[in-house]
Structure 1
Amino acid sequence: MKWKLDDSRPIWPQLKEQLIIAIVAGEYKMGGAFPTVRELAESAGVNRNTMQRALSELEHDGFVITNRTVGRVVTTDEGLVAKMKESIAKQTIEKFIREMEAIGYSEDDVVKMIKKRGEEDK
């Protein structure tokens, strides 16, 4: 997993967000084993306590479940994952539209550009 962390805000929420995106994208399969705190912390280059905070929040939100015998596993709650996927998509679209409006495009212009691009790809 590629980590994109910046110093503009606390690290653990960034870790949580990126792990959720990985779950939603299927990088971590529903019902499958989830990496350990140590593995993830080393991968991200962060302190284990920081990663543990992110994982505790993921567990609190239902994206991972701790099982005493096998460690953490990814949720099997398809509704939760689908809801988060839609939420991420909406946030991404809103950010994109705001950025396009900032450079002078209307929402209608953006829609036309997207449709045109789709037709070009056919």
Structure 2
Amino acid sequence: MEFNNDLPIYQQIMNMIKYDIVSGKIPSGQKLLSTRDLAIKLKVNPNTIQRVYKELETEAVCQSKRGLGTFVTEDDEVILMMKETLVDDMVKTFIEGMTKLNYSRENIIDKINCQFEKGDQQDVNIN
């Protein structure tokens, strides 16, 4: 994983895990990699992963079970709320970027519709 210098590494890792959960790549109830194993995989300090897991637990995204590891929540409501928050953040970032390029609301909507049409013509699945 390549990290962005504009955001703390632990937050980037948290976001990666959240995306994997809401997309279903990591299913609810699944055990996450150990702190050590994830740190090795991502080439970061284990303390960084420990902070990630602590923050995710504070947000009720996961829970640690003493002696067993850290597990993704099985609460579908928590996962749905997390997904909505991620989507809202993505849309907000997109709109802010387009606004900086002097696109009006109508121009933005036209661009989105154009991309959907291009996707339909190319048989691309846009969820």
TM-score range, shorter chain: 0.7 to 0.9
Map of 2:100 onto structure 1: 102
Aligned to 1:120: 118
* Residues 41, 104 of structure 1: alpha-carbon distance in 2 compared, 3 angstrom cutoff: same
What's the CA shift for 1:27? 1.7
* Residues 60-113 of structure 1 deviation map (CA, whole Å, 9 limit, x = unaligned): 111111123532111111111111111111111111111112112112111122
Q: Give the superposed CA RMSD.
A: 1.6
Which region of structure 1 is more displaced relative to structure 2, 80-89 or 110-119?
Answer: 110-119
Inter-partner Cα distance in structure 2 for 1:7 and 1:121: 33
**Number of the residue aligned with 1:23:** 21
Residue 86 (1) aligns with residue 51 (2): no
Q: Normalised by the size of structure 1, how large is the TM-score?
A: 0.87
C-alpha distance in structure 2 between counterparts of 1:117 and 1:28, whole Å: 29
Q: Which of these residues, 27, 34, 37, is aligned with residue 36 of structure 1?
A: 34
CA gap 1:109/1:23 in 2 versus in 1, 3 angstroms = same
- Unaligned runs of 5+ residues in structure 1 are none
Taking the aligned partners of 2:119 and 2:13, their CA distance within structure 1 comes to 34
* Cα distance in 2 between the residues matched to 1:120 and 1:17: 29
Q: Partners in 2 of 1:11 and 1:121 — Cα distance? A: 34
Q: Which runs of 4+ in 1 moved over 4 A?
A: none
Whole-angstrom CA distance in 2 between matches of 1:116 and 1:78: 34
Q: Which runs of structure 2 are paired with 1:59-74 in the superposition (5 Å)?
A: 59-68=57-66, 70-74=68-72
**Unaligned residue ranges in structure 2 (runs of 5+):** 121-127
Q: Is 44-53 or 17-26 further displaced after alignment? A: 17-26
TM-score, normalised to structure 2's length? Answer: 0.84
